[in-house]
Structure 1
Amino acid sequence: MNELNELRDQAYENSLIYKEKTKRIHDSKIKNRVFNVGDRVLLFNSRLKIFSGKLKTRWTGPFTVTQVFPYGTVELSRTDRPNFKVNGHRLKHYFGGDIPPMVVPDLQTFPMDN
């Protein structure tokens, strides 16, 4: 019985060590992004999984940050839509330039030269 108790205690300690290591690895992969009011950002659209294609972009925007809440919540605005709140992990900074369209237009075919 004593050996079983010792084995159980060792297994419990090993599981705690494993959980701490996996948490440390997970937390190291989270990017700490800081957003300020007035920043322009792109929003990751995670709902494109059903009809996703190779040429579709999963980022929409740009949006403007209107308010930053604690714990990573950010309020976004656009001129033609009402404000809404999102998790800051779904955002990345927008530095300008053109955003590719949601769908790439059909390619034109040209006749072969003989």
Structure 2
Amino acid sequence: MEIIDWSEKDIFITINAFSMFHGVKPFKTGKIMKLTKDTANTYDNEAIACEMRYFGRVGFVANSVNTVVKGCMSAGRVYDKIEDGYFAEVKFLTKSEAIAKILTMDEYLKEIENPESDVHYLSD
């Protein structure tokens, strides 16, 4: 997997629509999620699904001015910058959204070094 080194800038994303799946239960700060382009999504051609260990699909990266938290990038802004299999870490939680940071190359490599990291269980 090729990881773009965004170390010069932290990229935050909003995760929403998780009430459709497991609710807020899977989300805890520090948890890792896998980002996958959802090419079969008929509602949004820039949809990015989020998956977590034990839960599978837990939500989508927000892609609307009404759902993206200020300071975060929309799915449309990161869609062409990532490949399937990118990872993000949950940083903040609200009652209706989770805010995650896309891992930089250094952060990803640090996760790989940890044999207990969810990265190992979410990788293909």
Measured against the shorter chain, the TM-score band is under 0.3
Taking structure 1 as the reference length, what is the TM-score of the superposition?
Answer: 0.24
The higher relative CO (CA closer than 8 Å, separation ≥ 6) is in 2
> Which structure has the highest helix share of the two?
1
TM-score, L = length of structure 2 = 0.23
Q: Which has the larger radius of gyration?
A: 1
